[in-house]
Amino acid sequence: MAKTEVILTHNIVGLGGESDQVRVAAGYARNFLFPQGLAIPLTSANKRRLEVLKQRRAEREAHELNTTTDLAKSLSKLICLLTVKTGEDGKMFGTVTSGMIADQLKTQFDISLDKRKIHLEHPIRALGEQEVELHLHQDVKATLKVRVESSTPLPEAAAPPAEAKREAPKTEKRGKRTETAPEKAGGAERKARPAKAEKPARAEKTAKPEKTE
């Protein structure tokens, strides 16, 4: 296959950036790169444009670096929440992947990030919070906090402790009532004793008229 040398006028992923001189298939250059304005043939006349292309590339890369640095600072302050299904034992069904994290960044924060920049040593398989490394730029790395929570309701077995707490105050109230019961009985006895003493006094008053006759 015939090859030809070209000067790239735009950044092309996997091929090069502005001002790079690369060898490509002649048909690829003729049918795609040249018509799209992504490259120009390597000629003595076109070499004069290299300085302009290099300057434009330097400006673009500086802008990308600044933008990526700001993005790294923003991402380090965020917590990306993912909700997953779990069994009764709290184990996840499936795993959390870099693609899922990228989707949630877009949904929750409107941040578009290539999943290939999210580096997981292995898929996340457990609930909780952990830090994920991001390779945003060849000179910029960041960490993102990812929190994985369960969408499955807690089992009913967790309910009895709450009911036991509610019953505890009732037993205390009953205890107070049983303690005050003897006091009420004692008070009733004290009221009953003076009532018995009043009967002799009434008998003396009625006996006085009989002696005068």
Q: Verify that 39 and 100 share a domain, yes or no.
A: no
The per-residue pLDDT for 179 is: 47
The per-residue pLDDT for 14 is: 87
Q: Answer whether residue 202 shows pLDDT above 60.
A: no
Residue 102, both tokens: 């990228």
What tens digit of pLDDT does each residue of 94-144 get? 899 999 999 999 999 999 999 999 999 888 999 999 999 999 998 999 999
Task: Tell me the one-letter amino acid at 86.
Answer: T
What tens digit of pLDDT does each residue of 149-161 get? 998 765 554 444 4
The per-residue pLDDT for 109 is: 95
Look at residue 88 and tell me if it is in a domain.
yes
Q: Is 0.85 topped by the overall pTM?
A: no
| pLDDT, greater one: 82 or 156 | 82
Q: Verify that 60 and 86 share a domain, yes or no.
A: no
The per-residue pLDDT for 159 is: 43
Look at residue 138 and tell me if it is in a domain.
yes
Residues 33, 10: Cα–Cα separation, whole Å: 10
| pLDDT, greater one: 193 or 16 | 16
Contact 20, 6 (CB under 8 A): no
The pLDDT confidence band at residue 1, using thresholds 50, 70 and 90, is low
Look at residue 110 and tell me if it is in a domain.
yes
Q: Verify that 46 and 86 share a domain, yes or no.
A: no
The per-residue pLDDT for 160 is: 47
Residue the block writes with tokens 């898929």: 123
Q: Give the alpha-carbon dihedral of 60, 62, 67, 72, to 10 degrees.
A: 130
Look at residue 206 and tell me if it is in a domain.
no
The pLDDT confidence band at residue 192, using thresholds 50, 70 and 90, is very low
Q: Verify that 139 and 78 share a domain, yes or no.
A: yes
The per-residue pLDDT for 107 is: 95
Look at residue 86 and tell me if it is in a domain.
yes
Look at residue 185 and tell me if it is in a domain.
no
Distance set, CA 97 to CA 105, 109, 144, 146, 174 (Å):
13, 18, 14, 11, 57
Residues 74, 71: Cα–Cα separation, whole Å: 5
Look at residue 179 and tell me if it is in a domain.
no
**What domain range is 32 assigned to?**
3-71
Q: Verify that 92 and 62 share a domain, yes or no.
A: no
Pick the last residue of a domain from 35, 51, 71: 71
Sheet holding 79-84, edge to edge: 79-84, 140-150, 128-137, 118-119
Pick the last residue of a domain from 34, 53, 71: 71
The per-residue pLDDT for 49 is: 82
The per-residue pLDDT for 195 is: 46
Lowest pLDDT segment from 13-17, 145-149, 166-170: 166-170
Q: Verify that 111 and 126 share a domain, yes or no.
A: yes
Number of domains into which the chain is organized: 2
Look at residue 168 and tell me if it is in a domain.
no
Q: Verify that 56 and 87 share a domain, yes or no.
A: no
The per-residue pLDDT for 149 is: 92
Pick the last residue of a domain from 55, 71, 87: 71
The per-residue pLDDT for 53 is: 87
Q: Verify that 17 and 66 share a domain, yes or no.
A: yes
What tens digit of pLDDT does each residue of 47-61 get? 888 888 888 889 988
CATH of the domain at 52: 3.40.5.10
CATH of the domain at 92: 3.10.430.100
Q: Verify that 85 and 63 share a domain, yes or no.
A: no
